[in-house]
Structure formats: C-alpha cells, structure tokens
C-alpha cells in the first residue's frame, strides 16, 4: 500500500514537472488518435448518411457488416495490418510497419465501423423532412447534407467522441504495428504496459491518470451529447 | 390558358402495390387547386413526385416549353416548385435563419438577404418572432414561417400538404389569410386537405385522387378547356 501511494505521488510529480518523456508519449498518443479520427470521420459520415437515406442493393448487408466489425478485437486488426505491412506482405514496400502512420491506419480501421454504426443511428433517427425541406428550398445535395448533419449534430458528436475514446485507449493494434518504440511509436497504453512490466509504476500510474481522466471525460461527453440529441428531437 | 406545368403517365409502385397511375395532370397557372382523397390515396406521394423529391416509376414532364423525363426536369422543378409538409419542418435555428435558408442558393450578399427576410417577416406579420428559435413555435406559427420561407423564393407553384391540419380556429384563419395573399400574388397553389371547408373558398378547381386515379370534381371556368382526366377514363 505504501509503495502504491509513493508511486502515485511520484506519478503526479512526473506529470506536474513536465517530464519530457511522459508528455512526448501523451502528445504522440493524442496526435495519432486525432489524425485517425480526422481521416475516418468524413468518410464514415458520408457512408452512414447513404446507408440511412438511400435504398440500394446490399445496403442491409453493409449495415450488418459495420455492426459486426465494431466487435473485432483491436489485436486482430493489428495482426491483419501487421501481415499486410510486414516486409513480405502486399504493402511491405511502403515500409510503414513500426511507424506512427501504421498506428494511424490501424486506428482508422478500428474506429471506422464504430463511427459508421453510430452516425448511421444518428442519421436514421433524423427527421426525413429535414432533408426534403432543404432540397425543396433549393439546397444542393451537399448543402442539404451539411444541414442534416447540423440537425443531428449531437448524435454525430457523440459518435466522434466514442470513436476517439475507442482508439486512444486501445493497446493491441498500436503494440503490433507501432512496436512501442520510444520517441517514435510509444503511446499511452503501450507505455503503461511496458512501464508496469518493468516495475516502473510511477510512470505507468501517471499515464494511467491521463488515460482515466480522458476516458471519463469522453464518456461523460458522449452521455451529454446523446442526452442533448434526445431532448432536441 | 396554358398550364404552368404538365405531367403525363405518372405512376408509382410502392412495396409491390400500384399507388396511382395518372394519365395527365396539368397544373393551371396562377390558380388554386384543391386535391382531396382518402388517407393513403397517394396525395403526399403525388406532391413529392411533382416537387422532384420522389422518383416515380414513369412520368414525362412538359415545362417551360420543354419535354423532359422526371430526372431531366428535376433541377427545374426543384427550383420553381416548393413542397410543404403537413407539419412543416423548421431547421434548428432562429425564425430569421429559417426564412433566409433558401436565399443562400442565389449567392446574394448578407445585407440583401437580411433586408429581404425583414420584409418577408413584416409581410407575414411575424416580425415579433424574428429571433425566436423555430423549434419553440406553435403549429400555426410554424406553418406561417414555412409559408413565408417558401414565398421569399418566389416559387411558381406551392404544394401544400394539409396546411391547416391540427390547428385551432385562429391559426387556421391566419394561415388561410396568408394563402389568400399568396394566391393574390399570382403563385399557383395546390392544397391537399381533408378539411375542405377551410380552404374551399380559395380553390378554383377541385380534384380527387381515388383508387389510383385523378378525378375532376370542380373545374375552373378559366380552365374548362384543360383536361385532367385519368387514364382509364380517357382510354375508355
């Protein structure tokens, strides 16, 4: 118990002292996850909109696929991506394995089904009159799409926040395709795993605090936005 | 008098069921047409097809001297025909922003849009609601804001789906007055309604959509030479 409290105090000291290694890990973690969400979100929103508003062959199959892929474990995505990016893999020539870019790709794959499924649910719940009204008032389809996004913004923000929460805390994929290399691909979850295995609890706890605060904040954010969405509809 | 727009061979099937098949539908210009029919007869579907919001199985459009398919005509009819839902949808914004929505398509500057919106609010006696959130309005106020939002775009045809449904007497009167003024301004109007008594006085002609066919119950003296007969009747 004494060790734990000592480690916790040391963890706070590390965070507050501006320890370069710690803050570099935090910054890489956020950078990778923000990039992944930034790239995945626009495509996911367009797909979700089409799935919710238009009828086309295989639509139901696609919805089922996205819902199913939400539950694929991060480590399986990591393994698949590792095989694709490894030297003997089909994209081995790109030399992306054990880079931050590979981690971004992995996190895009991880967040994409969740973003599509949650955004689809938000668009599905949208009032179809909003789309028809925008079109009948002369809006071009892209403007009507942005209008509709604004009308269901709380559901969409909740989707993005949930997507970010999913990727920023995952370890399996980042460990496999990033390799947990200091100053290059070490992010919060992989660093926690490493420091704990070395018995360096202070750094592990410090990063754990950041991740915990972030996760709680994100979950609270999702609840607030979903609640706002419900009260608006 | 030349019709504003003509649709021919309009048919649509939903879930394997033929909703209607109309041989010819000619909308008289500058007049008000009342469309009645029981629930599920396809009035809303017909309006959405006419407004370019719903693709029919078949139809041909004659508009502004051009013969077009529905897809070819869509950009033209979406520009000139506005459809209002039974309960109009107002965006999650202020009344002013709602009324200004359609004006942004014309690329007008902000000052000009603002001026037009203020004039439109005054026209509809809605100036006191200018900065209210549209979501907080009553049903009657929403309908009047929606009519004003449509009018500001100078449409050639307004398709109104049950515009006075579930309104109190005062709101019905106010909406009826706005409709009268829109008609007076020369905008062609089609109204679908169950409550015929509230809008009948506006109507120059009365059509009925029944069992998938369009019947004329009352013809305007001006448009007596215009036929609105259903396919079966014409073929027989």
For B40-54, what is each residue's pLDDT tens digit?
A: 899 999 999 999 999
Q: Is B116 a domain residue?
A: no
Residues in B whose CB is inside 8 Å of some CB of A read 48, 51-53, 78-79, 81-83, 85, 87-89, 91-92, 101-102, 104-105, 135, 149-150, 153
Chain B residue at shortest CA distance from A146: B91
The closest CB to that of B53, out of A135, A151, A232, belongs to A135
CB contact under 8 A, A139 and B79: no
Q: Is B70 a domain residue?
A: yes
Residues in A whose CB is inside 8 Å of some CB of B read 127, 129-130, 132-140, 143, 147, 150-151, 232
Q: Is B186 a domain residue?
A: yes
User: What does DSSP assign to residue A224?
Assistant: H
Considering only the top CATH level, what class is A11-232?
A: mainly alpha
Residue B168 distance to chain A (closest CA, Å) = 23
Poorest-confidence range of A64-68, B176-180, B227-231?
B227-231
CB contact under 8 A, A138 and B48: no
Test mutation, A136, A230, A232, chain B, max B CBs within 10 A: A136
pLDDT of residue B32: 95
Residue A75 distance to chain B (closest CA, Å) = 42
Chain A residue at shortest CA distance from B47: A136
d(CA A92, CA A85): 5
pLDDT of residue B197: 81
CB contact under 8 A, A136 and B83: yes
pLDDT confidence tier of residue B220, bands split at 50, 70 and 90: low
Q: Is B147 a domain residue?
A: no
d(CA B36, CA A226): 41
Is the pLDDT score of B232 beyond 60? no
What residues are paired with B208 via a beta bridge?
A: B36, B215
Q: Is B108 a domain residue?
A: no
**A138 interaction partners in chain B (CB closer than 8 Å):** 78-79, 102, 105, 153
d(CA A53, CA A66): 16
What is the torsion angle, in degrees rounded to the nearest 10, for the CA atoms of residue B99, residue A46, residue B51 and residue B127?
-10
The closest CB to that of A136, out of B82, B91, B92, belongs to B82
Q: How many domains does chain B have?
A: 1
d(CA A82, CA A98): 9
For B94-140, what is each residue's pLDDT tens digit?
A: 999 999 999 987 778 999 999 999 999 999 999 999 999 999 999 99
Chain B residue at shortest CA distance from A151: B92
Q: Is A19 helix (H, G, I), strand (E, B) or coil?
A: coil
CB contact under 8 A, A130 and B91: yes
**B48 interaction partners in chain A (CB closer than 8 Å):** 132
pLDDT confidence tier of residue B194, bands split at 50, 70 and 90: confident
Helical axes A153-168 vs A201-232, angle rounded to 10°:
160
Closest CA to A122 of A84, A161, A146, A151: A151
Residue B78 distance to chain A (closest CA, Å) = 6
**B101 interaction partners in chain A (CB closer than 8 Å):** 134, 137, 139, 147
| Mean pLDDT across chain A | 92
Kindly report whether the global pTM for this prediction surpasses the value 0.90: no
CB contact under 8 A, B82 and A137: yes
Chain A residue at shortest CA distance from B85: A129
d(CA B109, CA A223): 40
**B88 interaction partners in chain A (CB closer than 8 Å):** 129, 133
Residue A137 distance to chain B (closest CA, Å) = 5
Structural domain harbouring B18: 3-83+154-235
Percent of chain B with pLDDT over 90: 75
pLDDT of residue B167: 85
CATH assignment of the domain containing B28: 3.40.50.300
B76 vs B108, higher pLDDT: B76
**A143 interaction partners in chain B (CB closer than 8 Å):** 104-105
Is the pLDDT score of B231 beyond 60? no
Closest CA to A207 of A218, A217, A194: A194
Is the pLDDT score of A81 beyond 70? yes
pLDDT of residue B221: 57
pLDDT of residue B229: 42
For A171-206, what is each residue's pLDDT tens digit?
A: 999 999 999 999 999 999 999 999 999 988 888 999
pLDDT of residue B235: 42
Residue A46 distance to chain B (closest CA, Å) = 20
**A139 interaction partners in chain B (CB closer than 8 Å):** 101-102, 105
Q: How far is CA A120 from CA A134, A152, B42, B182, B192, in A?
A: 20, 11, 29, 39, 33
Q: Is B89 a domain residue?
A: no
d(CA A128, CA A117): 18
Q: What ranges do the domains of chain A cover? A: 11-232
């Amino acid at each position: 118990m004494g060790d734990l409290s000592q480690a916790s105090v040391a963890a706070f000291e590390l965070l507050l002292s501006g320890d370069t290694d710690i803050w570099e890990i935090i910054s890489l973690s956020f950078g990778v996850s923000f990039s992944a969400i930034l790239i995945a979100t626009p495509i996911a929103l367009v797909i979700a909109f089409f799935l919710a508003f238009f009828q086309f062959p295989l639509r139901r199959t696609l919805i089922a696929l996205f819902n199913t892929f939400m539950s694929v474990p991060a480590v399986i995505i990591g393994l698949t991506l590792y095989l694709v990016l490894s030297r003997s893999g089909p994209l081995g020539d790109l030399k992306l394995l054990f880079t931050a870019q590979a981690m971004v790709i992995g996190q895009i794959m991880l967040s994409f089904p969740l973003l599509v499924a949650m955004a689809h649910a938000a668009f599905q719940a949208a009032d179809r009159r909003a789309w028809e009204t925008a079109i009948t008032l002369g809006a071009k389809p892209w403007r009507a799409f942005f209008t509709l996004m604004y009308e269901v913004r709380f559901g969409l923000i909740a989707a993005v926040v949930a997507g970010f929460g999913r990727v920023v805390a995952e370890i399996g994929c980042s460990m496999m395709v990033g390799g947990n290399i200091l100053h290059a691909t070490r992010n919060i979850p992989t660093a926690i795993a490493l420091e704990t295995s070395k018995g360096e609890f202070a750094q592990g706890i410090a990063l754990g605090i950041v991740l915990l605060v972030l996760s709680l904040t994100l979950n609270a954010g999702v609840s607030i936005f979903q609640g706002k969405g419900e009260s608006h509809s | 008098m030349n019709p504003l727009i003509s649709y021919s061979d309009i048919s649509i099937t939903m879930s394997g069921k033929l909703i209607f098949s109309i041989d010819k539908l000619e909308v008289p210009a500058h007049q008000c047409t009342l469309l009645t029919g029981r629930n599920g007869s396809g009035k809303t579907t017909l309006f959405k097809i006419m407004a370019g919001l719903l693709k029919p199985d078949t139809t041909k459009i004659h508009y502004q001297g051009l013969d077009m398919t529905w897809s070819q005509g869509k950009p033209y009819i979406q520009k000139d025909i506005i459809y209002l839902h039974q309960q109009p949808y107002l965006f999650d914004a202020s009344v002013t922003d709602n009324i200004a929505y359609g004006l942004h398509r014309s690329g007008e500057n902000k000052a000009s849009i603002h001026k037009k919106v203020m004039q439109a609010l005054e026209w509809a006696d809605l100036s006191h609601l200018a900065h209210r959130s549209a979501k907080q309005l009553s049903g009657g106020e929403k309908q009047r804001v929606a009519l004003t939002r449509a009018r500001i775009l100078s449409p050639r045809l307004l398709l109104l789906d049950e515009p006075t449904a579930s309104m109190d007497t005062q709101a019905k009167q106010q909406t009826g007055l706005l409709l009268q003024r829109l008609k007076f301004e020369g905008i062609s109007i089609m109204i679908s309604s169950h409550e015929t008594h509230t809008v009948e006085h506006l109507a120059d002609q009365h059509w009925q959509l029944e069992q998938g066919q369009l019947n004329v119950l009352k013809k305007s003296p001006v448009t007596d030479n215009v036929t609105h007969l259903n396919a079966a009747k014409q073929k027989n």
